Structure 1
Amino acid sequence: MRPISIGQFIFSALVLVFFLMITVQPAAAQSAALDASANRGTVPVTADPDPAGSIKGVVTTSDGKPAADVTIVISGTKKFALTDGDGKFAFRHLQPGEYLLEVSLVGYETIKQQVTITGSQALSLTIRLNAAQKMLDELTVTGVYNKFNKKETEDVARLPLKNLENPQSYTVVTREIMQEQQITDYVSIFKNIPGAGIPIVYNQGRTSMFARGFMTDNLIRNSVSGFVYTNIDPANLQRVEAIKGPSGTLFNSSMISFGGLFNRVTKKPVDRNFTELSYSAASFDLNRLTMDFNRVLDTAHNTLFRLNAAVGTQQSFQDAGFSRNLMVAPSFSYKVNDRLSLLLDVEASTFNATSPIRFTPSTKGKITNIKDLGIDYKKSFTNNSLDYKTQQLNVFGQVNYQLSEGWRSQTNYTRTYSATKGYVTQLIGYGKTDDSLQQQAQIEDFPYNGTEIQQNFIGDTRIGNLRNRVVIGVDVFNQKSNRNTPTVNMTPINFLHPGAAYNNFNAAKIDSAAAHAAYQIYRTNIYTYGVYVSDVINITPQLNVMLSLRGDRFDNKGTYYPAQDSTAGAYTQNALSPKLGIVYELLPERLSLFGNYMNGFSNTGGADFNGVGFKPQQAYQWEGGIKLDLLGHRISSTISYYHIDVSNTTRDDIDHPGYSIQDGVQLSRGIEAEVIANPMPGFNVVAGYSYNDSRYTTANKNVEGLRPATAGPQTLANLWLSYRLISGKLRGLGAGFGGNYGSSQFQTNTTTFSFQIPSYTVLDATVFYDQQHYRLGVKVDNLTNERYWSYRLAPQMPIRVTADITIKF
């Protein structure tokens, strides 16, 4: 019998866990000796006495709204209950006596209430939570048990749609899982996103990931442009949303890929006072301090302020390389009156680092796998004097105004600045031998400036008997850049035996050579004007249809070259982007079937041999699947199949050398699955699986029929298991374990040369103790010390231990 692979094993385990969670009742509910209806709090409050005593009640927020999935524990016993969607709960079969109820919910202080049962008394309670303790991101309550299940967001559809109402696939990585996994760098967040793969870190610290077979940059912040070509610090993030598929209808297509987009949502001021200070220390001399400070500035609770900050240093695991960062992120909100509210959110940072390793193999060598090449995993082939500094400033403003009962106005404004100054480096395979490389450096002075203004009108109204949830919007986007860069190539060296030449790659040598190098000096300037409308129509309470359309005007002012006092490459293009979505809730609020037909586009400059200008590349996706939200939010899952056709790609015109024709086609199709579950109290599961089949169907002959190297691994899987004690003297003690698997992928894949990156399995584990005023944690990344590489052939972090302490007051 053929042995099973690691990837097949993980996928089989995911399927087994998923079906067990659907078919098996929570073990703790059985051990609590409660009947199912009592344990889930579904029994209505009545005056009829039970055979024994009982406690029934309802939990509300301070504004009188029911609070779902609140935990109520009878102290000293194994009995517990969760409130249902109406805030109700019940305990049955209680003997006469005194009981202490502990009522808890994430973001609220625990309430303790003493009650007395006499005989067969049916005691009825109303418990009110203090709204001032509520965190902004917990408007949709998913409870202390399934703490990673926070799928409700307005960002995906720009409308307040529930996950089961939304005809699009998406994943939300919450701050709760970031905290449990002791995330200290932005790229580690993506371990929890199905199909994201190993992040690609570029020379300036900016990053890309994979989404449905396409490289996808991190250019969206708070649902609008967050265009920064620098490092992103996770300390200011509330969550990261991976929105799948070509979403050009509601987002600026120049900021996303045909596979989707990653929206980073920042922390906003909330209506309570708190301070959190965290310190992390890890292998390779990581030192990191973060602060989260929030204050209510007036007695009416209309003026709120929040400040997040981070400072850190770290050395590379290789013989050279470092990073140092400083980030401050103040945010301010003001409620002018019941109709008008204002938000200002600022993020500023500096980052000083050396370039991550990047290696491009020689296409004339005989070795075709990075693992066989023999490059020393811990040699950087660079020098700490070859560093760069970046700056970024991201300003986001939002004005919300309630126009009427059914309509509101939302105005968004963002201004971004990011600049890199210093040395960026890469390594290039050289000549016909497999053991030679050439070191290359650029001295960058490269600022980017971006501005986006967006106006949305969001409504919830009826036309006849049909409910319509509508967004109508316009946006204007501008991006400018300036480049001033010389490139220096060093004398090739033997990377197996570099000798004294190893030390020649330094700032003094590069500066000397740059004095005679040619400079790239130019400026770019582009504008995008968009208008869009999206309407979700409820045909019946269980059936809704989404109809969306966007029109774009792209205006590239061209690239200006000061030396020639000339501009080249200017062009304009228009594009339409439609979207159709259908959702049918087979079981209302529990099981829905969904399908979508979506479009995204990418602007392409140039013309063919006959002078006919190129059109925008277009990606069309159709997708179908199911979404689950079962057992009172204990199981949330999305499983889908997608098919993406990309047309209007360019390829070489073999009849007219030097020209291109625009008839290329690329296909990307696959399966994605995600499960977020709470099989038993205190035990949480996050699991994902993706399979992607991607190929060029019409392209240059050297790649036609092949998988693009930029499509990433064909199979990816992620898993995180977490258990935390929720009662007893050790309440708050927990552990987590998980990992990621990726099949082999290509760095280059053509008919003449193919270079492979091997598959990988990386395992992580953590132990933590979380209390009201402090949190202690220890995390081990890459437990088995796996050696693995990114698409750019950058060696990834070996085993690393991180210790963390957080003080909360």
Structure 2
Amino acid sequence: MKIIQSVFLLALISTCTFAQNASITGNVIDNNQSPLPGVNVILLNTAKGTQTDINGNFTLAKLENGNYTLMVSYLGFKTRELPVSLAANQSLNLGAIILYEGNEILNEVVIKAERTNKFSRKQTAYVSKLPLKDIENTQVYSTIPTELLESQVVTNFDDALKNATGVEQLWASTGRGGDGAGYYSLRGFSVQPQLVNGLPGLTNGTINPANIERIEVLKGPSATLFGNAVSSYGGLINVVTKKPYVGTGGELSFTSGTYGLNQIVGDFNTALSKEDNLYFRINTAFTTEQSYQDAGFRKSFFVAPSLSYKVNNKLSFSFYAEITQAEQTNPTFLFLNRSAPTEADNLEALGYNNKLSFTSNDLALQNPNQNYRIEMDYKLSNAWRSQTLLSKSSTSTKGYYSYLFDYGILGGNTFTRFINKQNANTQTTDIQQNFIGDFKIASLRNRVVIGLDYFNATQTDNGTAYAFYGNVKPDGTVVNDNPFTQEVETTPFPLSTAGVDAALTNMAVGNNKSKYHIYSLYASDVLNITDNLSAMVGLRLDRFDNEGDLTTAEDDYDQTTLSPKFGLLYQPLADKLAVFANYQNGFTNVAPQLVGNPDDGAQTLKTFNPEQANQLELGIKTNLFNNRLNATISYYDIKVKDRVITDPSSPFNKIQGGEVVSKGFEVEVNANPFSGLNIRAGYSSNDSETTKSDNTEILNRRPLEAGPETLYNFWTSYEFQSGKLNGFGIGAGFNGASESFAINYKSTGEFILPSYTVANASVFYQANKYRIGLKLNNALNEKYYKGWTTINPQMPRMLLANISYQF
């Protein structure tokens, strides 16, 4: 009997083992027979899933026998669902699985797995509103993936953007109403980050990196697809957030650092209903940080819930939100005089003590901020898809804001402090309807987007006027004399809420509310003339309706603009090497101005066409050695024309004749020479000049918003792949800039900020479920500054320690 029982038990164990020993293999390729690495392969309604390797191959092992549905999905390609039936112990080879390019813009599936070239540009559908590979796109853009941010232990948005070629911070987030987000220079023009997942998403503070999947920096005028409200002539910055995925998992992370930095980050994804394909994800972070200066702090709580619901193979919905409660002291910049020479023309002569904040922790700003988006994706046919998108943003500022300005009246490099109490709010609404097609006319493939866009912004300002609140020299010497009165005053000005409130008692309180609307129609087509030659054509019709101050009609005006875009791209080596050229357009609406000699009677309003920026660009893109070498090299020439200037023949008339020229050269390289080693490098050179203007102060000079002429960045990390050091890694890099102008006017002369190079390094250990890392920022303790008519000191040496656990 015991023998029979043993035999029966062995048979049962063997049967169970065989029942769970089936497998599925296959190879995922695109329509050009090229392998697709990193494709998500999932058995629906199970916990089984994987990604394809560099050759497009995948294996799902240890499967039970039965009937399954295999889902194969990849950003930019149409998802395929394949029924499979497995017998016990069967090894099923599905052979080649072809994915056709489609419009999976709203259905990104994120599964963290090892992939080649972690720092490379990911394919994105937001850049062109079409699912184009980077090597198919005639526009240049930089992508900063989350893997790069993790490698660098990034805790703030400014550090993240240091990885984007040709981007330099002009000044940090001030938190003030209306434009409190950070400013950056891009191809010679200032820009703020105002896009989230391709839709408007505003903030008066800084962006929390906890919810960032990647950052996309589009280069050059981009108004044809995105309008002028969220872009600049130099380009735009789009933040792509983390989204729900099929499965359950998450991550907990804690980072602590010098100057009181503590940050807790949580990420959790789960199915609310697997049967209904309803998935939920939440990212949250709590951050507190002190300043390296004598005062200053920032604390914030951030939460980002998101929901995806796939009703069926045709219809899906998504909801995303980012909610921030933040409080901070604003960085007190030294504003240089823009109309009279500053006594000092460099930092040494200024005698600036950068350890001084010129504020106190009693004077703070609150920056609550919310962004919400609802997205509906509906498959109309095999060739057409509909997208309906709604985004709403609300950003507010309440509290005390101050700045220091060099009036030059008191002498001795004395800066006057002005302070007010902020109470401002900006509300935006954006509605888009896109129809995206992928079809052939004769033998020519067309990838088309046709869209309608409505954008509305309402700004309210109930802050006080600015009050004089003492003077200070850059070395910290206090001078309380009011430069606007004849009496010499010695009354102290305490940096406290009570003192400031007393000074603001008799100041006027604003009651300002303004609004504008933008109605747009746009279309873009990528036409494959041959397998290797394609052309991109785009056009936007934009109607700007400015209501201005709602209490008066005098500032109301309307303008209509056409914005074209063209591009040609040739691939001598398909999906490996591309040569491209583009023409891109941007524009700015111009308000009417009064003209006519007042001695001859009442002046009249003269209307103008929108200001125009046009870019010509040439370059090459590579994707060589099985995605191990991605590079972009480009030369651009941007000319801004139709700026309103004074008529040379009449000082009482205005004409559109001002011009600014910005030319430059950029190189970006992402390389993975061998497993474990990843390299990111960028270099840019920009030559900008105001070539035509009635303002002789700026004529034939480099605009201040252009920033440094030369920028460079480099980061490399290596992780040991085997042996006793398996999982250990090191990282090192640097970023820097040539000298730049804080002031560059005819009457004031120049105030030059020196060049700098900042070195960084890290060590880490990556295990199966957790990661431990140490990061040293500004390892050589470089003292450096940035500015835009301002002087903004940067962070000294800082040590960060991080531990993360994935589940």
The corresponding residue for 1:372 is 349
**Match runs of 1:620-631 below 5 Å:** 620-631=614-625
Out of 685, 690, 696, the residue aligned to residue 691 of structure 1 is: 685
Judged with a 3 Å threshold, the aligned counterparts in structure 2 of structure 1 residues 622 and 587 are, in CA distance, closer, same or farther, namely: same
1:389 and 2:366 matched: yes
Matched-pair contact (CA < 8 Å) for 2:25–2:58: yes
Judged with a 3 Å threshold, the aligned counterparts in structure 2 of structure 1 residues 426 and 541 are, in CA distance, closer, same or farther, namely: same
1:297 and 2:297 matched: no
Out of 438, 446, 452, the residue aligned to residue 424 of structure 2 is: 446
Judged with a 3 Å threshold, the aligned counterparts in structure 2 of structure 1 residues 59 and 731 are, in CA distance, closer, same or farther, namely: farther
The corresponding residue for 1:777 is 773
The corresponding residue for 1:435 is 413
Matched-pair contact (CA < 8 Å) for 2:256–2:800: yes
Letter in 2 for 1:428: F
| C-alpha deviation, 1:355, in angstroms | 0.3
Matched-pair contact (CA < 8 Å) for 2:519–2:543: yes
| C-alpha deviation, 1:438, in angstroms | 1.0
Matched-pair contact (CA < 8 Å) for 1:137–1:238: no
Letter in 1 for 2:362: S
Q: Distance in 2 between matches of 1:243 and 1:83?
A: 29
Matched-pair contact (CA < 8 Å) for 2:29–2:56: no
SS at match of 1:491: strand
Judged with a 3 Å threshold, the aligned counterparts in structure 2 of structure 1 residues 66 and 334 are, in CA distance, closer, same or farther, namely: farther
Number of equivalent positions: 704
After the TM superposition, which of the residue ranges 649-658 and 187-196 deviates more from structure 2?
649-658
1:721 and 2:692 matched: no
The corresponding residue for 2:535 is 545
1:676 and 2:675 matched: no
**Match runs of 1:476-495 below 5 Å:** 476-485=454-463, 486-495=465-474
SS at match of 2:705: helix
SS at match of 2:162: helix
Judged with a 3 Å threshold, the aligned counterparts in structure 2 of structure 1 residues 592 and 372 are, in CA distance, closer, same or farther, namely: same
TM-score (norm 1): 0.83
Q: Distance in 2 between matches of 1:473 and 1:605?
A: 27
Deviations 1:189-215 (A, max 9, x none): 111001111352232151121110000
Q: Distance in 1 between matches of 2:222 and 2:476?
A: 49
The corresponding residue for 1:78 is none
| C-alpha deviation, 1:750, in angstroms | 1.1
The corresponding residue for 1:218 is 193
| C-alpha deviation, 1:143, in angstroms | 5.8
Out of 510, 517, 525, the residue aligned to residue 520 of structure 1 is: 510
Deviations 1:631-675 (A, max 9, x none): 000000010000001011123457766875421000001001100
Letter in 2 for 1:277: L
Letter in 2 for 1:743: S
Query: Over aligned residues, Cα RMSD in angstroms?
Result: 2.8
1:190 and 2:136 matched: no
1:206 and 2:181 matched: yes
The corresponding residue for 2:797 is 799
SS at match of 2:736: strand
Out of 569, 573, 588, the residue aligned to residue 574 of structure 2 is: 588
SS at match of 1:177: helix
Q: Distance in 2 between matches of 1:435 and 1:685?
A: 45
| C-alpha deviation, 1:702, in angstroms | 1.8
The corresponding residue for 2:584 is 598
The corresponding residue for 2:291 is 316
| C-alpha deviation, 1:145, in angstroms | 3.1
| C-alpha deviation, 1:167, in angstroms | 0.4
**Match runs of 1:353-368 below 5 Å:** 353-362=328-337, 363-368=340-345
SS at match of 1:146: coil
| C-alpha deviation, 1:680, in angstroms | 1.9
SS at match of 2:168: coil
The corresponding residue for 1:509 is 499
The corresponding residue for 1:171 is 142
SS at match of 1:198: strand
After the TM superposition, which of the residue ranges 385-394 and 149-158 deviates more from structure 2?
149-158
Judged with a 3 Å threshold, the aligned counterparts in structure 2 of structure 1 residues 63 and 298 are, in CA distance, closer, same or farther, namely: farther
The corresponding residue for 1:74 is none
Judged with a 3 Å threshold, the aligned counterparts in structure 2 of structure 1 residues 578 and 667 are, in CA distance, closer, same or farther, namely: same
Q: Distance in 2 between matches of 1:146 and 1:59?
A: 23
Judged with a 3 Å threshold, the aligned counterparts in structure 2 of structure 1 residues 713 and 663 are, in CA distance, closer, same or farther, namely: same
Percent identity between matched residues is 37
Q: Distance in 1 between matches of 2:374 and 2:476?
A: 55
Deviations 1:682-706 (A, max 9, x none): 1111000110000000011221111
The corresponding residue for 2:100 is none
Judged with a 3 Å threshold, the aligned counterparts in structure 2 of structure 1 residues 142 and 330 are, in CA distance, closer, same or farther, namely: closer
Letter in 2 for 1:87: N
Out of 216, 223, 247, the residue aligned to residue 241 of structure 1 is: 216
After the TM superposition, which of the residue ranges 676-685 and 423-432 deviates more from structure 2?
423-432
| C-alpha deviation, 1:139, in angstroms | 7.3
1:267 and 2:242 matched: yes
Deviations 1:390-423 (A, max 9, x none): 1111101100000000110011110100100001
| C-alpha deviation, 1:69, in angstroms | 4.8
Out of 407, 410, 422, the residue aligned to residue 399 of structure 2 is: 422
Q: Distance in 1 between matches of 2:726 and 2:653?
A: 68
Deviations 1:359-383 (A, max 9, x none): 1124333311234311111001111
Letter in 2 for 1:279: F
Deviations 1:220-249 (A, max 9, x none): 111011122232111011110001110101
Q: Distance in 2 between matches of 1:282 and 1:800?
A: 7
Q: Distance in 2 between matches of 1:170 and 1:142?
A: 24
Deviations 1:438-469 (A, max 9, x none): 11112110011000000000000011111110
Letter in 1 for 2:364: D
Letter in 1 for 2:791: L
Matched-pair contact (CA < 8 Å) for 2:54–2:116: no
Judged with a 3 Å threshold, the aligned counterparts in structure 2 of structure 1 residues 333 and 199 are, in CA distance, closer, same or farther, namely: farther
The corresponding residue for 1:808 is 806
Matched-pair contact (CA < 8 Å) for 1:487–1:519: no
Letter in 2 for 1:170: Y
The corresponding residue for 2:48 is none
Judged with a 3 Å threshold, the aligned counterparts in structure 2 of structure 1 residues 66 and 689 are, in CA distance, closer, same or farther, namely: closer
Q: Distance in 2 between matches of 1:361 and 1:58?
A: 66
Matched-pair contact (CA < 8 Å) for 2:450–2:524: yes
Letter in 2 for 1:614: F
Matched-pair contact (CA < 8 Å) for 1:59–1:66: no
The corresponding residue for 1:496 is 475
Matched-pair contact (CA < 8 Å) for 1:140–1:152: no
Letter in 2 for 1:146: N
Letter in 2 for 1:149: S
Judged with a 3 Å threshold, the aligned counterparts in structure 2 of structure 1 residues 137 and 686 are, in CA distance, closer, same or farther, namely: farther
Q: Distance in 1 between matches of 2:318 and 2:211?
A: 16
The corresponding residue for 2:519 is 529
Q: Distance in 2 between matches of 1:239 and 1:296?
A: 24
Judged with a 3 Å threshold, the aligned counterparts in structure 2 of structure 1 residues 456 and 285 are, in CA distance, closer, same or farther, namely: same
SS at match of 2:390: strand
| C-alpha deviation, 1:301, in angstroms | 6.4
Q: Distance in 1 between matches of 2:581 and 2:143?
A: 20
Q: Distance in 2 between matches of 1:641 and 1:313?
A: 42
- For structure 2, which runs of at least 5 residues remain unmatched after alignment? 1-23, 40-51, 60-73, 76-90, 98-105, 481-491, 597-604
Matched-pair contact (CA < 8 Å) for 1:556–1:570: yes
The corresponding residue for 1:19 is none
